[in-house]
Amino acid sequence: MTELEARLRAVVRGEVGFDVTSRALTTMDASNYRRVPAGVVAPRDADDVAAALAVCREHGVPVVARGGGTSIAGQATGTGVVLDFTRHMNRLLSLDPDTRTAVVQPGLVLDRLQDAAAPHGLRFGPDPSTHSRCTLGGMIGNNSCGSHSVAWGTTADSVRELDVVTARGERLRLGQDWAGAPDGLRALAEGELARLRTGFPDLPRRISGYALDALLPENGADVARSFCGSEGTLGVLTGAVVRLVEAPRARALAVLAYTDESAAAEAAAGLLPFGPLTVEGMAADLVPSAAALPRGGAWLFVETGGESAGEARARAEAIVRAADVVDALVVTDPAGQRALWRIREDASGTATRMPDGTEAWPGWEDCAVPPARLGAYLRDFRGLLTAHGLRGTPYGHFGDGCIHVRIDFDLLTEPGVARFRRFSEELAELVVAHGGSLSGEHGDGQARAELLPRMYGPEMVGLFERVKGVWDPDDLLNPGMLVRPAPLDAGLRFSVLPREPVDVAFGYPADGGDFSAAVRRCVGVAKCRTTSVSGSAVMCPSFRATGEEQHSTRGRARLLHEMLAGEVVADGWRSTEVRDALDLCLSCKGCRSDCPVEVDMATYKAEFLHHHYAGRRRPAAHYAMGRLPQWLRAVSRTRTAALVNLLARTRPLAWTAKRLGGIAPEREIPRVATRTFSRWWERRRGTGEGPRGDLVILWPDTFTEHLSPSVGQAAVRVLEAAGLRVALPPTLRLAKPPVGDGRTVALDPLSLLRGRGRVCCGLTYVSTGQLDQARAVMRRTLDLMEPVLETGAPVVVLEPSCAAALRTDVPELLHDDPRAARLAAKVLTFAQALERHAPDWTPPRVDRPVAGQTHCHQHAVLGDAADRRLRGSAHLSGELSGGCCGLAGNFGFEKGHYEVSAACAEDQLLPSVRDAPDGTVVLADGYSCRTQLEQLAGVRGRHLAEVLADALEAGRPDA
């Protein structure tokens, strides 16, 4: 332990982390930059902040205040001590509806303030796209804005008072009329009144530099406002009194379509006289092809408010009539509006990948110009991109003249970095020529501060340095930002990564086979740190259960980045820090779909475990549950299921088995079916009208085969009732016709095939990182399925996790075998099979509400649109919740995971079931979900196939 760490531990009541994990998690924010801190302190209160500052001042160690870590210019990184306010100083202290104010701590997430204000008809005006994880302290530090700034301004417009601790330990309450000003600030400002009155461009999104014009007497000598946007360089914020605004009772969203982004930009300023709440712009490059937008090449999202839905709609329709558009759409449905806004909010992530998969990066993320000049600026900006051979897709706050863009800079090679610098210098000149600000939202940080003299001139920048000297004479707070900045091309986070591809097992097709490129996907947007789930979203259940950065997708990606860098995490694939962070990853695959850049932590975890345990003894759970298909097949072959079930119910024997198998003692060992699904299939007699329609191959996954054959039986009954012919691999025997009907059934040639062994997707081997075994199992499966691949028959998979493995894991792990992709293309869910191959079939009418959860793998990989339509056709009403059940295959059964597993279930699944009215059908297509429901709530979840099969049976004349 260093003397610095020892002294901090002695005086700070919060956590002090100088360990590898704590430091690795804070080397980066959402920018292009990386700095390795000495340690991290999570203060409990202002006293802790003051104590930490005193120790750091004694040791000459810089201090960086950090909120949600979503800063895009590098200002949330540092080489000294990082103060993490999200762990303890994260509360809403009070909210006064009468004065429309709230008292907040710096680590409070914006959405928590919005949730508290909403019942009073109030809200905090600024709302960045990161509103579900950004903190009020970070917003004040960067003077954040968001999409509603045309109506409610920037964070500085919403600040009343600020509590600040200076680098020398002075506690100040900042406000108007010089309240809280440190000694010397007033004299300095009053000696420069002429410069303060003439040296700042007049535009709504001028964020660059210090807001010294707020100190003018005609502006109220507002010290609190001048502190906003100082990026932690002047003092450390410990509390704030913020202003709230009245939220409109109803909203409408007008989506205006234009031929291209320039046309949209030209039109934006002309809409401001209508008093919209937002005027946001996007081009087609960033919009999913399936998005329900009016035809066009670019769009303005113009939101209006009103006392009623009719008034909001009328205002939106007035804007549509006044706008010269290609097409338009007005959306009043709140769910429809949320879906459209989600496209805009995810743009900061989706923009990091060009349509051809090329990486794109921040750095010139948020320049702003006067709104009336936006069209001309965008044309010049596009010309500059072309001149440098670069690409980027602008989007953002067109009504405020503020443009976000990710550009395909080459930040991995010296020539690429040199071009990055040249472009930055020329773009700064271009922005200034249009009367703009280098930063219109996210601050200067390291990305733009070096270029501030081009915007303000050397005299004004010199004044910034003098102001910094008044507040922080020792240059202790966030040095290298805003004044005396580090070069914009120094300390790039990519420079430490391996230059050659790392030898890995998976193919990483979207990243050119490069594991480093896959890890680079995480740009720090931190959507995985969202504490509440909306709709069917899943990511990130372990973070919501623990609240710890290392158990978020971003945290794990940061550790993998540092593992590849080899500086902080020095043990490579053998790293215990990376292993421990990945240990609570449920492999839910939620990040594969919910992360804007599609980070696939389940695959990265499997890859890591494969290397980590290569040539070494694995945890017992890997042998017990990772090789579950082998154990269950052995039970089936020896016909000892009844004996196994008896022993599992014998307490001493079950305790011993769980201990030896690495199974959580709180768990009950699931019951094994005494007759497998395949045996039932071989012995059954068809109950339908005989095969007459399309052939479908029903996949006998391990869970359906050995643990819940009733699901497979139900699926056969429903598929046949829909007129489909059902066969199983590898002995693809067709169902026999009803006994005694006298008909002869012509067998499909596939029914005569035989194969050795059983097909298996390899899921349990993949989830435990046993990738050599997984490949062997998958190749054997492809051998068995080869005759099927020559047919047009789809493969229907009832277990969502197995279907997802066949769709993604098999082709990505066997990327050298073209049969894998062919098999993946054939995989359908139960609902998809009925929809595509029995489109005229009408399911039985159930007429009951449903509760439960969409399987996380189905949400992430397969989609549930067909399931929703099938439920609707069967008159099963209601929506399923999002999140993850928490059992997640082997995860919830492993020793040490029970508490997190149960917490994940309590996040969405169990409350939705408890709150369901009597008569509700609890749907759970996944075996893990059904097991979790049974073991934690005593509730029987059912596969949709079982519900429909029962309804068919109930509707029979002789039933």
* Chain segment 447-475, per-residue pLDDT in tens: 999 999 999 999 999 999 999 999 999 99
Nearest alpha carbon to residue 552 among 513, 521, 586, 504: 586
Q: What is the pLDDT averaged over residues 858-880?
A: 96
Q: Is the pLDDT of residue 714 over 50?
A: yes
How much is the pLDDT for 662? 96
Q: Is the pLDDT of residue 777 over 90?
A: yes
Pairing of strands 848-852, 921-923: parallel
* Omega cis (within 30) before 540: yes
Bigger pLDDT: 344 or 401? Answer: 401
Q: Could you give the count of Cα atoms lying within 13 Å of 650 in the half-sphere of its Cβ?
A: 10
Pairing of strands 63-66, 81-84: parallel
Q: What is the pLDDT averaged over residues 220-244?
A: 98
Phi and psi at 584, nearest 5°, equal: -95, 10
Distances (CA, A) of 825 to 184, 784, 810: 70, 17, 11
pLDDT band at 685 (very low <50, low <70, confident <90, very high): low
pLDDT band at 745 (very low <50, low <70, confident <90, very high): very low
Q: Which of 542-551, 642-651, 752-761, 814-823 bottoms out in mean pLDDT, i.e. has the lowest? A: 752-761
Q: What's the pLDDT tens digit per position in 572-587? A: 999 999 999 999 999 9
Q: For residues 135 and 606, what is the distance between their CA atoms, to the nearest angstrom? A: 33
How much is the pLDDT for 754? 33
- With b meaning 16 or more CB within 10 Å and e meaning fewer, what string describes 512-540? eebbbbbbbbbbbbbbbbbeebeebbbbb
How much is the pLDDT for 289? 65
CB 909 within 8 A of CB 933: yes
Bigger pLDDT: 533 or 84? Answer: 84
**Tokens 């019951």, residue?**
671
Q: For residues 565 and 640, what is the distance between their CA atoms, to the nearest angstrom? A: 51
Q: Is the pLDDT of residue 733 over 60?
A: no
Q: What is the pLDDT averaged over residues 165-180?
A: 98
Q: For residues 948 and 846, what is the distance between their CA atoms, to the nearest angstrom? A: 8
Pairing of strands 92-96, 81-84: unpaired
Q: What is the pLDDT averaged over residues 940-955?
A: 95
How much is the pLDDT for 284? 83
How much is the pLDDT for 115? 96
Q: For residues 468 and 444, what is the distance between their CA atoms, to the nearest angstrom? A: 15
Q: For residues 533 and 522, what is the distance between their CA atoms, to the nearest angstrom? A: 20
Q: What is the pLDDT averaged over residues 708-714?
A: 97
pLDDT band at 959 (very low <50, low <70, confident <90, very high): very low
pLDDT band at 757 (very low <50, low <70, confident <90, very high): low
Q: What's the pLDDT tens digit per position in 829-858? A: 999 999 999 999 999 999 999 999 999 999
Q: Quickly list DSSP for 784-849.
A: HHHHHHTSS--EEESSHHHHHIIIIIHHHHSTT-HHHHHHHHHEE-HHHHHHHH-TT--PPP--EE
pLDDT band at 345 (very low <50, low <70, confident <90, very high): confident
Q: What's the pLDDT tens digit per position in 45-78? A: 999 999 999 999 999 999 999 999 999 999 999 9
How much is the pLDDT for 349? 67
The helices-and-strands tally (H runs, E runs) of the chain is: 42, 24
* Segments in 174-308 forming alpha helices (H): 185-190, 193-198, 223-227, 261-271
Q: What is the pLDDT averaged over residues 309-331?
A: 95
Q: Quickly list DSSP for 573-588.
A: GG-HHHHHHHHT----
Q: What is the mean pLDDT of the chain?
A: 93
Length, in residues, of the chain: 959
Q: Is the pLDDT of residue 689 over 60?
A: no
Q: How far apart are the first and last CA of the chain?
A: 75
Q: Is the pLDDT of residue 350 over 90?
A: no
In the sheet that holds 848-852, the strands lie side by side as 876-877, 848-852, 921-923
Q: For residues 778 and 776, what is the distance between their CA atoms, to the nearest angstrom? A: 5
Please tell me what DSSP assigns to residue 917: P
Q: What is the pLDDT averaged over residues 624-643?
A: 95
Q: What's the pLDDT tens digit per position in 494-515? A: 999 998 999 999 999 999 999 9
Q: Is the pLDDT of residue 945 over 60?
A: yes
